[in-house]
Amino acid sequence: MLRFLTYRLAHSLLLLFLVSVIGFMILHLAPGGPLSQFALSPGMSQAELEKIAERMGLNRPLPVQYLDWAARFVTADWGESFRDGRAVLDIIFGHLFATLLLILTSTILSVGLGTLVGVLGAMRRYSAYDYLATVGAMVALSIPTFWFGLVAIYVFSLRLGWLPSGNMYTIGDESFLDYAEHLIMPSVVLALVQVAIWSRYMRSSILDVVGQDFVRTARAKGLTRRRVLYVHILRNALIPMITLTGIQLPTLLSGALVTETVFTWPGIGRLFLDSLGYNDYPVVMGVLMFTAMFVLLGNLIADLLVAGVDPRVRLE
């Protein structure tokens, strides 16, 4: 166990290092940069631009800039935003709640619904329902999230007027109901693809387990159908789903990025896109590293959970 954790920690650190180097390089190699917007200001002289560059530390060689950033990063000082000078970590934590609320709601939705759809599909294999679920999943997987989001806004906000078209709450209201009302569309839109993925994996995982000998044993023991399904089939079929949830985290986060943008949801995804637009390097790097750590931690937790529920798995 200790060896496993040490190994995973080292592994994660190496990955984070690579992510930071590649992210840093791509960011700085991209055309434009933080200075380009100042350069357009009327009456801006070259000397003044250089002064700004010096203040931002952008006049130094790239490796030096990276090392400076990395040295501060490991001491939990993630720098300050170019835009407003606030600490990057403060900005991220300011947007964290919105994103967590969104992805948590949509994960609960997709796990619940995906499991149900998948289990029913497996139990009634090749039935009309099963074909419908299969086709539905294919459609959901092929619709881009942003398109579905825009259609949802058009139908439910513009035409029907049932739901707010964006933001997390109404200023001045902020009641639980108000939050819930704002949450419905973005979380459903984000969950759509996840439900499709979950139901497909769940269906095939169940079919894998149903054909196993121990299920026949369970039935031969005279257990009720319900008990065979919950205690023997589902218990085994859900184990690979834990791993899948971990693996799906990046998909979920990039889906959140699109969803947050479409619904002007004040989360980390939108912060990332905004910061990119402003060439706000410290915030972009901060969000990048934060999501990378989030994904790595999520996968570690998934692996620990699998080891917890499957006695055959030994963490070595």
Partner 1 sequence: MSRVLSVENLGIGFRSEGQDFTVVRDVSFSLEAGQTLALVGESGSGKSVTSLGIMGLLPPPPQSRTTGRIVLHGGDGDGDIELLGLPESRMRRLRGDRIAMIFQEPLTSLNPVHTIGDQIVEAIRSHRRVSRAKARTRAVELLEQVGIPDPQERLGTYPHELSGGMRQRIMIAIALALEPDILIADEPTTALDVTVQAQILDLLRRLQKDTGMAMLFITHDFGVVADIADRTIVMYAGQTVEEGRTETVLSDPLMPYTIGLMNAVPRLETAGLKLGDLKTIEGFVPDPAALPQGCSFHPRCAYMQEGLCDTSPPSIEDAGGGHMVRCKRWRQIGEGRET
Chain residues binding partner 1 by CB under 8 A are: 212-214, 216-225, 227, 231-232, 235-236, 239, 309-312
Is residue 283 within 8 A of residue 268, CB to CB? The reply is no
State the Cα–Cα distance between residues 301 and 316, nearest whole angstrom.
15
C-alpha distance from residue 13 to each of 6, 16, 18, 67, 272 (Å): 11, 5, 9, 16, 22
Name the minimum Å distance from CB 295 to partner 1. Answer: 27
Q: Report the nearest approach of partner 1 to the CB of residue 164 (Å).
A: 45
Nearer Cβ to partner 1 (274/310): 310
Please report how close the Cβ of residue 220 comes to partner 1 at its closest, in angstroms: 5
Residues 6 or more apart from 219 whose CB is under 8 A from it?
A: 228
| Nearer CB in complex with partner 1: 121/266 | 121
Nearer to partner 1, 32 or 211 (CB): 211
Q: Which is nearer to partner 1, 76 or 220 (CB)?
A: 220
Residues 285/27, Cβ–Cβ less than 8 Å = yes
Classify residue 260 as exposed, middle or buried by CB count within 10 Å of its CB (0-12, 13-18, 19+). buried
Q: How far is the CB of 303 from partner 1 (least distance, A)?
A: 16
Minimum Å gap between C-beta 235 and partner 1 is 6
**Closer by beta carbon to partner 1, 212 or else 264:** 212
Closer CB to partner 1, 14 or 231, in the complex: 231
Sequence-separated (6 or more) residues with CB below 8 Å from residue 307? 313, 314, 315
Measured from the CB of residue 221, what is the shortest distance to partner 1 in angstroms? 4
